[in-house]
Chains A and B, each alone.
Chain A
Amino acid sequence: MLPAKGLSPYRRFRNAILGILTGIAFVLAVTPLLAIIYIAYDRGKNALSLSFITSMPSGFPVGIEGGIANGIVGSLILIMLASLLSVPVGVWAGLYLWDQAHTGFAKATRLLSDLLLGVPSVIWGVVGYYVFSTNTGFGFHWGFSGLAAGLTLGFIMIPIVTRVTEQALRDVPRSYIEGALALGASRFQVVRGLAVPAAITGIGTGVLLGVLNVLGQTAPLVFTNYYNTGIPHSLVGSNGSVGDLAMQIFIYIHEPSKALHVKAMAAALVLTVIVLLLDMGIRLLAWGSRKYAQRMG
């Protein structure tokens, strides 16, 4: 005889348990974000104003008056420098690993790239110092500077962009690629015209992950750039340091000054909003370029 129709008590029980666990997981995942936004807003709201993001820090200790324009500009400079290095190199490497997936050289490259992902950022900072910043021995002798920091951050970004680009390309269905090859398309035409447009959202996500990672780094900056309360005229040399939001928060929160702590929390909120804007911007860019590729050959 068949059991009665409907869910058995055991299945109903299991449904309930899994539903509750899913709910708990959701709360655990969302709480930190809401907590960051709430705490940063609650403790920093008194410092928030339009002039906070448009004016330079002043007063004594520096920052007690004025805003964080130096940090915003500096962070954007660092992101740009890091992206200029890592996006071409990382995307190209990702394309290579996807195209030559099974060759020995690609396997070795993939392994080394993954190892780089695990290198602590403080080590990147020290190596960046020896290669770019220090004025003795070999290296570029750029001093504590935006260029030294931007390139160090760029090297941190490369394996992230590489990994995500390769994964995004692997998610493009094989049948799609074969369809184009069977029409007599060359490897390059397939990559440029079909594979990359189909994977562009994923590649954009990779770049975004890299940028966000870089935006939150402080350890490499300690060794290659430190901090600047103004905006430099040059990106190398003794006055080449740039401001940086994460560094600025780090420094303000270490000062024995209630007013600077408020500014640090306000800066944290601004940083969160910048992350959100970058996220939306890169998504928009990926969406636009896919539309463009669909219209063109």
Chain B
Amino acid sequence: MESNNAEGVTFPAKGPAAKIRVSNFSAYYGKVQALHDVDFDILDRRITALIGPSGCGKSTFLRSLNRMNDFYSGFRVEGMATLDGEDIYGSQVNPVLIRQRVGMVFQKPNPFQKSIFENVAYGLRIQGVRSKSVLSDIVEKSLRAAALWEEVKDRLSGSAFSLSGGQQQRLCIARALAVEPEVILLDEPASALDPISTARIEELMQDLKDRYTIAIVTHNMQQAARVSDRTAFFLDGTLVEIGETSRIFTNPEDSRTEDYITGRFG
């Protein structure tokens, strides 16, 4: 059962509310259907892990939540996806505003060709923030939140490319945090990192989950088990099973889930 009394004040009986709610959701790249009728709730201020073999649609699903797939020609969706009850794919919705609320960190660290400071400040600058002191404050706050401040505070004007891969990825997380999103989508954020950097990212996620709703795609089963509250298993574009991580990994309902997490395929 869900132990939902950690912050029991708000939702003592029902557990946390759904931040993102997806129902009958299908996605297509041209004629190829990548997602089939997915029903899915991403709970507020919980970490949700998306697992499944390569090509199962979990990244497509993740990228659909902040409309990052809009740029593929021929991409279209059916069904419903809502953020706090607002239709993400509504005709009146500006995808830019969705992306300001739903941030994303990618598989490969992708800092901009700018200084460390300007990387974190970028999201604020494009929103029109000019005040140097406001920028400095938020940059420091974001770098602290991403557990990077101590390592870079003396070289904020240095190039982002001078950082190690793990530091670059934490910089990208800081950059995403700076615009104060409500949801953070992580697309295999540690798959290109060494174990120590991976551990730091995982610790960071635990620190962040008090304030943010997090969804993470991972190929690493142990990682999903370690960091997430809920786990969703995708296979061939369908959502096979979703539930408490502890239950999914100890007592899955679907035999395909069991086959996957015990390493029988994938």
Contact = CB atoms under 8 A, between A and B. Distances in A.
Interface of A: 102, 173, 175-176, 178-186, 189, 193-194, 197-198, 294-295, 297
Contacts, number: 74
A197 B113 CA distance: 9
Contacts of A186: 96, 126
Nearest to A193: B126
A288 B228 CA distance: 47
B91 to A, nearest CB: 18
Interface string B198-238: 00000000000000000000000000000000000000000
A182 B68 contact: yes
Nearest to A184: B100
Given A182-B99, A184-B179, A295 B113 contact: no
A183 B118 contact: no
B177 to A, nearest CB: 11
A179 B96 CA distance: 13
Contacts of B179: 183-184
A295 B114 CA distance: 7
Contacts of A182: 66, 68, 99, 103-106, 176
B33 interface: no
Candidate in A176, A185, A294, A297 with the most chain B CB atoms within 10 angstroms: A297
A183 B122 contact: yes
A185 B123 CA distance: 7
A181 B71 CA distance: 10
Nearest to A182: B104
Candidate in A179, A198, A294, A295 with the most chain B CB atoms within 10 angstroms: A179
B170 interface: no
Nearest to B124: A297
Q: Is the interface of A mostly helix, strand, loop or mixed?
A: helix
Contacts of A295: 114-115, 118
Contacts of B114: 294-295
Contacts of A173: 110
A206 B115 CA distance: 28
Nearest to A177: B71
Contact of B103 (A102, A176, A183, A189): A183
Contact of B126 (A175, A176, A189): A189
A294 B108 contact: no
A31 to B, nearest CB: 38
B110 A194 contact: no
A294 B115 contact: yes
A185 B128 CA distance: 11
Contacts of B100: 183-184
A186 to B, nearest CB: 5
Contacts of B71: 178, 181
Contacts of B104: 178, 182
